[in-house]
Amino acid sequence: MTGYVMFRKDRLGRNGGRVILYIKESIQAYEINLEKEAECEEAVWCNIVTGKSTLTVGLVYRSPNISMEENEKIHNAIKEVSKRDCIIMGDFNHGHIQWTSLQSTGERIKSF
pLDDT in tens, 46-99: 999 988 999 999 999 988 888 889 889 998 999 999 999 999 999 888 767 677
Q: What is the CATH number of domain 4-111?
A: 3.60.10.10
Task: State the DSSP H helix or E strand holding residue 77, giving kind and residue range, or none if neither.
Answer: helix 68-81
Give pLDDT tens digits for 18-47: 899 999 999 999 999 988 877 888 899 999
Q: CA 16, 20, 26 angle in degrees (round to 5)?
A: 155
The burial of 70, by beta-carbon neighbours within 10 Å (0-12 exposed, 13-18 middle, 19 or more buried), is given as middle
In this prediction, residue 29 carries a pLDDT of 97
The backbone region for 45, taken as left when phi is positive above 0, alpha when psi lies in -120 to 50, beta otherwise, is beta
Cβ–Cβ under 8 Å, residues 73 and 38: yes
- Domains of the chain, by residue range, sit at 4-111
DSSP class of 37: G
Cβ atoms within 10 Å of 75's Cβ, excluding its own:
14
